[in-house]
Amino acid sequence: MLHNDPIAALTPDVVAWRHHIHSNPELGFKEHETARFVTEKLRSFGFDEVHEGIGGTGVVGVLRCGTDTRAIGLRAELDALPVLEKTGLPYASRNAGVMHACGHDGHTAMLLGAARLLSQSRAFDGTVYFIFQPAEENEGGSMRMIEDGMFKRFPVEAIYAVHNWPGVKLGTIAARVGAQMAAVDNFELTFEGLGAHAAMPQLGDDPILAAGAFVQAVQRIVSRSVDPQSALVVSLTQIHGGNVANIVPGRVWLQGTCRFFEPDHSDCCEKLIGEIARGIAAAHSVTATLDYKKGYPPLINAAHATARAVEAAAATVGRENVSTEFSPSLGCEDFAFMIREAGGCYAWIGAGDVGPGEGLHGDRYVFNDEIVPTVMRYYVNLVEQTLAVS
C-alpha cells in the first residue's frame, strides 16, 4: 500500500520506538537511557536545539518556524513504575520490577513522532517546545523542570499533554475546562504511648485503640466538614503496629492520602486530620505526630487552551467523538504544576475497554498502539491550528 499520509507512513516506526522504550523502562529521575534515546531521535530529525538535563533527566527539543512571536509546549513523560510486568509480551520489560504500566513509553514515542512530522511539514508560524519530563509518577519531575527555569528559558502561551485512558472509548478524545484530575496530599501519623503485657492493659496506653478510633473519626472530614457537593476523598492505606499476640505495642503508624479538586481542601485536611488525631490521642493518653505532605495540585484546564485542544481534537476524530462534559478523575497528574504555571490543556485519549489488572498501573496493562496515529494527528492539528500561518 502506498502511503500518501505521512502520519500513517510513520506509525510503524513510532510503534517500534514505543516497544523499544517499553523493553527498557527506567524509574523517575533515572531515565538516562530514555532521555538519550529521545535526544538522539530529535537530533536525527534535524533539531539543532535539544536541551538535556533540565530538572534532572528532562529534555526539551525546540522547533522554530517563521516568525518568533508565539510559542506553545507539548509534554510527554519519560518515567516507568516499580511494577513487575506480567503481560508476556515479546517486547516486555527487560528491567525486572520496572514497567511502563502507565503508557509513558507511548506518550514519549508519539511526541517524538509529532516532532518528526512537524519538522518535515513546517506548516506553522512560531515555536514548538517538545518537553520530555522525568518522574511524573511520584517525585514531581515537572516541578523540578519549572524550578530549573524551563518556562523562563522556553516561555509558552500554553502547554498541552495527553494521557491514554483505558475505559474511555477508542477513537474519542476528552478534555474539559476546569478540573480534570485531582490534587493529592499524603500523610503519615504515629500514635505513641506505653506498651504493655496484653493480659495487663491497665499498665499501658494502647495506641491501637487510639488508631482504631482515628480510622472511624477521620471520615468526619468528608461527611461533616466540607460541602457535600465538592469532592473529597480521605483514604487510610497502611496501618502497622505490634508484632506478637501477647504484647500491646507502644506505637502504631498509619499512612493515608487525600484527593480533591478545590485547593482550599489541602489546608482544611491538614488542619482537621491534626486536630482529630490530637483529640483522640488526648482521650487515649497517647501522643499523635502528624507528617502531612502537600503533593500535586489539581489539574485545571484553562478555557482558552481547552478551546484550542477541542478544535484540534474535532479535526482529528470528528466533533461527535470529542467529549467536554464528563466527571473528572480523582487520580492525580504532575502536569498540573506546568498547567498552573503556564496555562494549558490535558486531554484523555480513549484507549478502549480493558479487563481486571489491565488498567493504568496494572501488571498486565498494555498500551493500545491503535491510538498512535490519532495522537500524532492531534498534535499536528493542534500546532498547525494554534500557530496558523497567516
Residues making contact with Zn ion (CB under 5 A): 102
With respect to Zn ion, which residue has the nearer C-beta, 73 or 106? 106
Residue number with CB closer to Zn ion (27 or 102): 102
Q: C-alpha cell of 223?
A: 461527611
The answer for residues whose C-beta is within 8 angstroms of residue 169's C-beta and 6 or more apart is: 321, 350, 352
Q: How many CB atoms lie within 10 A of CB 155?
A: 12
Choice between 102 and 272, CB closer to Zn ion: 102
- Bridge partners, residue 129, by sequence: 62, 73
Pick 102 or 131: Cβ nearer Zn ion: 102
Least distance from Zn ion to the Cβ atom of residue 294, Å = 19
Q: How far apart are the first and last CA of the chain?
A: 35
Q: How far is the CB of 133 from Zn ion (least distance, A)?
A: 11
Distances (CA, A) of 102 to 20, 76, 94, 251, 372: 15, 12, 17, 36, 15
Q: How far is the CB of 367 from Zn ion (least distance, A)?
A: 11
Closest contact distance (angstroms) between CB of 163 and Zn ion is: 6
Quick one: which of 361, 309, 367, 313 has its CA closest to 339?
Answer: 309
| Residue 65 vs 101, nearer CB to Zn ion | 101
Alpha carbon distances (Å) from 352 to 205, 263, 337, 379: 53, 32, 28, 20
Which of residues 212 and 359 has its CB atom nearest to Zn ion in the complex?
Answer: 359
In one-letter notation, the amino acid at residue 58 is G
Q: Which of 299, 306, 357, 356 is nearest to 330 (CA)?
A: 299
User: Of the candidates 117, 166, 163, which has an alpha carbon nearest to the alpha carbon of residue 11?
Assistant: 117
Minimal distance in Å, beta carbon 81 to Zn ion? Answer: 7
Q: Is 50 helix (H, G, I), strand (E, B) or coil?
A: strand
Nearer of residues 187 and 348 to Zn ion, judged by Cβ = 348
Rounded least distance, CB 141 to Zn ion, Å:
12
Q: How far is the CB of 213 from Zn ion (least distance, A)?
A: 34
